[in-house]
Amino acid sequence: MVEELLFFMEVLVGGLLAGTMYSLVALGFVLIFKASATFNFSQGAMVFFSVLAFCGFMQDFNIPFVLAFILAALLMVVVGLCTERFVLRPLMNASEDTVLMATIGLGYVLEGLAQAAWGVEVRRLDLGIGDFPVPWIADNLKLFISALDITAGVVAAIMIIGLFLLFKYTKIGLGLRAVADDAGAASSIGIPLKHIMLLVWSAAGVVALVAGCMWGARAGVQFALVDLALKALPVLIIGGFSSIPGAIIGGLIIGAVEKVLEVYIGPFFGGAIEGWAPYVLAIFFLLYRPEGLFGEKIIRRV
């Protein structure tokens, strides 16, 4: 009995921590949605692009770790700058769906550019944190939990707290919220729309880079990251598109449910149900609570 309970706990904790990895991707999504009411479909491509560039700097040019990270972050700022100038500004008054489709295009551009510049083979990313159980926890609590998972959890927690404080207590955060609420009104009272957009896209780029590092260290830096990042979408639906804590809770729920279902129900169906279980869970949420757990209620003007 105790053994079973321990096993369940292990599955659950493993799922929760894996969920924080989804949360990290979802976070970039929320950031952009919160500030500009734009669904950025290219967030997954940004994750792939940024971490591939990071790996490229380190492995092809032998740039040290910290410098490469800073360079990759700067690159993401440039990407944000270009996106603002060439995609978002011309589409300022376009409908939501149009902008969404443009960001799908942007995702394609980023994926293509990354592969043209750095090649298509899978790269290994070594963060110096192993993807193996921490001995201390394994000895004392009898749970096998990967060090990488714990790092991802801690990094996610730090970023959430940081972003939460930014949005809640700084002038920039106030500006961001104002722009999200009504871009026209915000710019008429003197909030520089251009700077806000640039800032928020750069921030999303850096978040993507961090998420990419975590994913890359686990699964290798490869194209499949883009598909993994698609799982951030059900996370967002469950947590709500405009809520930073929602992204975290949503990620935890998806991670836990996915792992528990896979381990306990999966064998009856031949396994690999994690591929679609999050999406079906999201459908149920959509039917009963379309705005997600923490999202603002969706109000459409007639």
Partner 1 sequence: MKPVFMTYTKKDIINLAICMVLSVLIIPTFIKTEYWYTSILIPWLCLALATIGQQIVMGYTGQLALGAAGFMAAGAFAMFNLILRVPDLGFVGSLIMSGLIAAAFGILFGLPSLKVRGIYLMVATLASQFFIIWMIDKFGWFKNYDSSGIITAQDIVILGKPFTTPLAMYFVCLAVTTVLTLLAMNMARGSTGRNWMAVRDMDIAAESMGVSLLRTKVQAFAISAFYCGVAGALFAFCYLKSLEPVAFDIKLSFKILFMCILGGLGTINGAFIGAAFILLFPVLLNAIGNNVFHGAIDATIISSIEQVIFGGLMIIFMIYEPLGMAKLWENIKQKWKTKFPSINLKNLKSSLSKKS
Residues 6+ apart with CB under 8 A from 111: 45, 48, 49, 223, 226
87 touching partner 1, by CB under 8 A: yes
37 touching partner 1, by CB under 8 A: no
Binding to partner 1, residues 196-235 (CB under 8 A): 227, 230, 233-234
State in angstroms the smallest separation of the CB of 291 from partner 1: 9
The single residue among 5, 116, 189, 299 that binds partner 1, judged by CB under 8 A, is 116
State in angstroms the smallest separation of the CB of 89 from partner 1: 10
State in angstroms the smallest separation of the CB of 68 from partner 1: 22
271 touching partner 1, by CB under 8 A: yes
Residues in the chain: 302
Of 13-21, 66-74, 109-117, 165-173, the window that binds partner 1 (rule: CB under 8 A) is: 109-117
7 touching partner 1, by CB under 8 A: no
Binding to partner 1, residues 117-156 (CB under 8 A): 119-120
The single residue among 3, 4, 97, 139 that binds partner 1, judged by CB under 8 A, is 97
The residue among 235, 224, 253 whose CA lies nearest residue 295 is 235
179 touching partner 1, by CB under 8 A: no
Of 61-69, 112-120, 171-179, 254-262, the window that binds partner 1 (rule: CB under 8 A) is: 112-120
Residues 6+ apart with CB under 8 A from 2: none
**Residue 141, phi then psi, degrees to nearest 5:** -105, -5
Give CA–CA dist 64/296, Å, rounded: 43
Binding to partner 1, residues 274-293 (CB under 8 A): 275-276, 279-280, 282-283, 286-287, 290
**Residue 272, phi then psi, degrees to nearest 5:** 60, 30
The residue among 207, 208, 231, 228 whose CA lies nearest residue 218 is 228
Give CA–CA dist 72/51, Å, rounded: 8
Give CA–CA dist 282/266, Å, rounded: 18
CA dihedral 183, 189, 195, 200 (to 10 degrees): -50
Give CA–CA dist 43/57, Å, rounded: 21
Nearer Cβ to partner 1, position 136 or 269?
A: 269
296 touching partner 1, by CB under 8 A: no
Give CA–CA dist 230/78, Å, rounded: 24
State in angstroms the smallest separation of the CB of 65 from partner 1: 27
Give CA–CA dist 18/149, Å, rounded: 6
Kindly list the residues in this chain that would bind partner 1 in the complex (CB under 8 A).
39, 41, 86-87, 90-91, 94, 96-102, 104-113, 115-116, 119-120, 227, 230, 233-234, 237, 269-273, 275-276, 279-280, 282-283, 286-287, 290, 300, 302
